[in-house]
Amino acid sequence: MNKFRIGFGYDVHQLQEGYDFWLGGIKIEHSKGAVGHSDADVLIHVICDALLGAANLRDIGHHFSDQDPEYKGIDSKILLADVMKMIREKGYEIGNLDTTICLQLPKVNPHIDTMKTCLAEVMAIAEDDISIKATTTEKLGFVGRQEGVSAYCVALIYKNN
Ligand SMILES: Nc1ccn([C@@H]2O[C@H](COP(=O)(O)O)[C@@H](O)[C@H]2O)c(=O)n1
Ligand SMILES: C[C@@]1(CO)OP(=O)(O)OP(=O)(O)OC[C@H]1O
Protein backbone atom coordinates (compact mmCIF):
# COMPACT_ATOMS: atom_id res chain seq x y z
CA MET A 1 0.00 0.00 0.00
CA ASN A 2 1.18 3.57 -0.70
CA LYS A 3 1.87 5.78 2.29
CA PHE A 4 0.79 9.36 1.56
CA ARG A 5 1.75 12.47 3.54
CA ILE A 6 0.93 16.13 3.06
CA GLY A 7 2.91 19.27 3.90
CA PHE A 8 2.36 23.01 3.88
CA GLY A 9 4.71 25.97 3.41
CA TYR A 10 4.33 29.72 3.91
CA ASP A 11 7.00 32.43 3.55
CA VAL A 12 7.39 36.19 3.12
CA HIS A 13 10.22 38.36 1.80
CA GLN A 14 10.52 42.12 1.66
CA LEU A 15 10.68 43.81 -1.74
CA GLN A 16 13.19 46.64 -2.13
CA GLU A 17 14.82 48.58 -4.93
CA GLY A 18 18.38 47.55 -5.79
CA TYR A 19 17.83 43.79 -5.43
CA ASP A 20 17.35 41.08 -8.06
CA PHE A 21 13.94 39.44 -8.06
CA TRP A 22 14.33 35.65 -8.08
CA LEU A 23 11.05 33.76 -8.19
CA GLY A 24 10.45 30.11 -9.06
CA GLY A 25 14.10 29.68 -9.97
CA ILE A 26 14.17 32.45 -12.58
CA LYS A 27 15.05 36.16 -12.51
CA ILE A 28 12.06 38.44 -13.08
CA GLU A 29 12.62 41.96 -14.45
CA HIS A 30 11.13 44.44 -11.96
CA SER A 31 11.98 47.72 -10.25
CA LYS A 32 12.25 45.88 -6.90
CA GLY A 33 13.72 42.57 -5.81
CA ALA A 34 13.28 40.27 -2.82
CA VAL A 35 15.52 40.68 0.24
CA GLY A 36 16.89 37.74 2.21
CA HIS A 37 20.00 35.94 3.40
CA SER A 38 19.80 33.73 0.29
CA ASP A 39 18.61 34.88 -3.15
CA ALA A 40 15.20 35.21 -1.36
CA ASP A 41 13.25 33.06 -3.83
CA VAL A 42 10.01 32.88 -1.85
CA LEU A 43 8.40 30.30 -4.16
CA ILE A 44 11.28 27.86 -3.78
CA HIS A 45 11.33 28.43 -0.01
CA VAL A 46 7.67 27.45 0.39
CA ILE A 47 8.18 24.36 -1.76
CA CYS A 48 11.13 23.36 0.47
CA ASP A 49 9.07 23.93 3.63
CA ALA A 50 6.06 21.98 2.32
CA LEU A 51 8.27 19.02 1.36
CA LEU A 52 10.22 19.08 4.63
CA GLY A 53 6.98 19.34 6.57
CA ALA A 54 5.43 16.43 4.68
CA ALA A 55 8.46 14.25 5.50
CA ASN A 56 8.59 15.56 9.11
CA LEU A 57 12.09 16.97 8.52
CA ARG A 58 11.66 20.36 10.28
CA ASP A 59 12.00 23.47 8.06
CA ILE A 60 14.30 25.29 5.66
CA GLY A 61 15.94 27.45 8.34
CA HIS A 62 16.73 24.35 10.41
CA HIS A 63 18.79 22.88 7.56
CA PHE A 64 20.12 26.11 6.01
CA SER A 65 20.54 28.71 8.75
CA ASP A 66 20.19 32.38 7.86
CA GLN A 67 23.14 32.95 10.25
CA ASP A 68 25.45 30.70 8.21
CA PRO A 69 27.74 32.56 5.76
CA GLU A 70 27.74 29.42 3.57
CA TYR A 71 24.20 30.33 2.49
CA LYS A 72 24.75 34.08 1.97
CA GLY A 73 23.30 34.93 -1.45
CA ILE A 74 22.89 31.24 -2.30
CA ASP A 75 20.81 30.18 -5.29
CA SER A 76 17.69 28.63 -3.70
CA LYS A 77 17.66 25.98 -6.45
CA ILE A 78 20.68 24.45 -4.66
CA LEU A 79 18.67 24.31 -1.42
CA LEU A 80 15.71 22.73 -3.23
CA ALA A 81 17.94 20.07 -4.79
CA ASP A 82 19.25 19.28 -1.27
CA VAL A 83 15.71 19.04 0.10
CA MET A 84 14.79 16.62 -2.69
CA LYS A 85 17.78 14.48 -1.67
CA MET A 86 16.58 14.50 1.96
CA ILE A 87 13.04 13.38 1.17
CA ARG A 88 14.23 10.74 -1.31
CA GLU A 89 16.66 9.41 1.31
CA LYS A 90 13.57 8.86 3.52
CA GLY A 91 12.01 6.91 0.64
CA TYR A 92 9.51 9.53 -0.54
CA GLU A 93 8.59 10.71 -4.04
CA ILE A 94 6.45 13.72 -4.91
CA GLY A 95 2.80 13.24 -5.79
CA ASN A 96 2.13 16.88 -6.67
CA LEU A 97 2.68 20.46 -5.51
CA ASP A 98 0.18 23.33 -5.59
CA THR A 99 1.50 26.84 -4.94
CA THR A 100 0.18 30.40 -4.81
CA ILE A 101 2.35 33.53 -5.13
CA CYS A 102 0.90 36.70 -3.54
CA LEU A 103 2.32 39.67 -5.41
CA GLN A 104 0.80 42.99 -6.42
CA LEU A 105 3.22 43.68 -9.30
CA PRO A 106 4.49 42.52 -11.72
CA LYS A 107 2.14 40.01 -13.32
CA VAL A 108 3.82 36.63 -13.19
CA ASN A 109 1.46 34.68 -15.46
CA PRO A 110 3.75 35.14 -18.49
CA HIS A 111 6.61 33.49 -16.53
CA ILE A 112 4.81 30.53 -15.00
CA ASP A 113 5.63 28.00 -17.72
CA THR A 114 9.33 28.91 -17.52
CA MET A 115 9.26 28.54 -13.72
CA LYS A 116 7.62 25.12 -14.02
CA THR A 117 10.21 23.92 -16.52
CA CYS A 118 13.03 25.18 -14.31
CA LEU A 119 11.65 23.67 -11.05
CA ALA A 120 10.75 20.35 -12.69
CA GLU A 121 14.36 19.99 -13.81
CA VAL A 122 15.80 20.87 -10.37
CA MET A 123 13.41 18.45 -8.64
CA ALA A 124 13.56 15.75 -11.33
CA ILE A 125 9.76 15.50 -11.48
CA ALA A 126 7.17 16.09 -14.21
CA GLU A 127 6.09 19.66 -14.95
CA ASP A 128 2.51 18.44 -14.67
CA ASP A 129 3.11 17.72 -10.96
CA ILE A 130 3.88 21.40 -10.26
CA SER A 131 1.07 23.96 -10.16
CA ILE A 132 1.92 27.66 -9.80
CA LYS A 133 -0.81 30.25 -9.33
CA ALA A 134 -0.69 33.96 -8.52
CA THR A 135 -2.90 36.56 -6.91
CA THR A 136 -2.66 40.21 -6.00
CA THR A 137 -4.13 41.20 -2.66
CA GLU A 138 -6.20 43.92 -4.34
CA LYS A 139 -3.75 46.62 -3.10
CA LEU A 140 -4.38 45.61 0.55
CA GLY A 141 -1.71 44.89 3.17
CA PHE A 142 2.05 44.59 2.72
CA VAL A 143 1.67 42.74 -0.58
CA GLY A 144 -0.81 45.31 -1.87
CA ARG A 145 1.56 48.16 -0.91
CA GLN A 146 4.33 46.35 -2.85
CA GLU A 147 6.42 46.08 0.33
CA GLY A 148 6.69 42.31 0.10
CA VAL A 149 5.93 39.06 -1.65
CA SER A 150 4.51 35.96 0.01
CA ALA A 151 3.74 32.44 -1.14
CA TYR A 152 1.99 29.27 -0.06
CA CYS A 153 2.56 25.65 -1.06
CA VAL A 154 0.87 22.35 -0.32
CA ALA A 155 2.72 19.16 -1.21
CA LEU A 156 1.70 15.52 -1.44
CA ILE A 157 4.48 12.96 -1.07
CA TYR A 158 4.27 9.17 -1.00
CA LYS A 159 6.29 6.01 -0.54
CA ASN A 160 5.55 2.47 -1.65
CA ASN A 161 5.73 -0.14 1.09
N1 LIG B 1 1.38 39.11 -9.51
C2 LIG B 1 0.32 38.55 -10.13
C3 LIG B 1 -0.96 38.56 -9.60
C4 LIG B 1 -1.99 38.00 -10.30
N5 LIG B 1 -1.77 37.44 -11.51
C6 LIG B 1 -2.88 36.89 -12.31
O7 LIG B 1 -3.94 37.82 -12.35
C8 LIG B 1 -5.16 37.20 -11.94
C9 LIG B 1 -6.04 38.17 -11.22
O10 LIG B 1 -5.43 38.58 -10.02
P11 LIG B 1 -6.34 38.86 -8.74
O12 LIG B 1 -5.43 39.31 -7.66
O13 LIG B 1 -7.31 39.88 -9.16
O14 LIG B 1 -7.01 37.56 -8.38
C15 LIG B 1 -4.74 36.00 -11.10
O16 LIG B 1 -5.71 35.00 -11.11
C17 LIG B 1 -3.47 35.58 -11.81
O18 LIG B 1 -3.80 34.79 -12.92
C19 LIG B 1 -0.49 37.40 -12.00
O20 LIG B 1 -0.23 36.88 -13.10
N21 LIG B 1 0.53 37.96 -11.31
C1 LIG C 1 16.98 30.38 2.99
C2 LIG C 1 17.59 31.00 4.22
C3 LIG C 1 19.05 30.57 4.30
O4 LIG C 1 19.84 31.30 3.41
O5 LIG C 1 17.60 32.41 4.23
P6 LIG C 1 16.54 33.50 3.70
O7 LIG C 1 16.86 33.85 2.29
O8 LIG C 1 16.55 34.67 4.64
O9 LIG C 1 15.10 32.84 3.66
P10 LIG C 1 14.02 32.54 4.81
O11 LIG C 1 12.86 31.93 4.12
O12 LIG C 1 13.76 33.78 5.60
O13 LIG C 1 14.67 31.47 5.79
C14 LIG C 1 15.38 30.32 5.42
C15 LIG C 1 16.85 30.68 5.53
O16 LIG C 1 17.50 29.97 6.47
Determine the average pLDDT of the residues in 105-109.
Answer: 98
Residue closest via CA to ligand 1's atom 7 equals 135
The closest-lying atom of ligand 1 relative to the alpha carbon of residue 109 is 20
Model confidence band, residue 87 (pLDDT cutoffs 50, 70, 90)? very high
| 45 Cα nearest atom in ligand 2 | 11
Q: How does pLDDT run across 127-141, given as a tens digit for each residue?
A: 999 999 999 999 999
Whether the CB of 109 sits within 6 Å of ligand 2: no
Identify the pLDDT of residue 160.
Answer: 82
Asked whether residue 49 is marked as a ligand-binding residue, the answer is no
Alpha carbons 157 and 108: distance in angstroms, whole number: 27
Between the CA of 107 and the centroid of ligand 1 the distance, in Å, is 7
Which residue among 30, 109, 138, 149 has the greatest number of ligand 1 atoms within 8 angstroms of its CB, and so is best to mutate? Answer: 109
CA 121 to chain centre: 14
Q: Quote the mean pLDDT of the chain.
A: 97
- Per the structure, how many domains does the chain have? 1
CA distance 156 to 68: 30
Residue 112 has pLDDT above 90, yes or no: yes
Nearest to 3 by CA among 124, 80, 95: 95
Q: What is the pTM of this model?
A: 0.97
Q: Which of 46-50, 116-120, 157-161 has the lowest mean pLDDT?
A: 157-161
The CATH number of residue 61's host domain is 3.30.1330.50
Measure the CA angle with vertex 84, ends 80 and 90; round to 5°.
145
Distance CA 144, CA 161 (A): 46
DSSP H or E stretch at residue 146? none
Query: Is position 67 annotated in a ligand binding site?
Result: yes
pLDDT band at 1 (very low <50, low <70, confident <90, very high): low
The CA–CA distances, whole Å, from 12 to 4, 33, 47, 102, 113 equal 28, 13, 13, 9, 22
Query: Please, which pLDDT band fits residue 62 given cuts at 50, 70 and 90?
Result: very high
What pLDDT, in 10s, does the model give residues 5-36? 999 999 999 999 999 999 999 999 999 999 99
User: 155: closest CA among 82, 48, 42?
Assistant: 48
108 lines ligand 1 (CB under 6 A): yes
Domain that holds residue 124: 2-160
> Measured between alpha carbons, how far is 5 from 56 in angstroms, rounded to an integer?
9
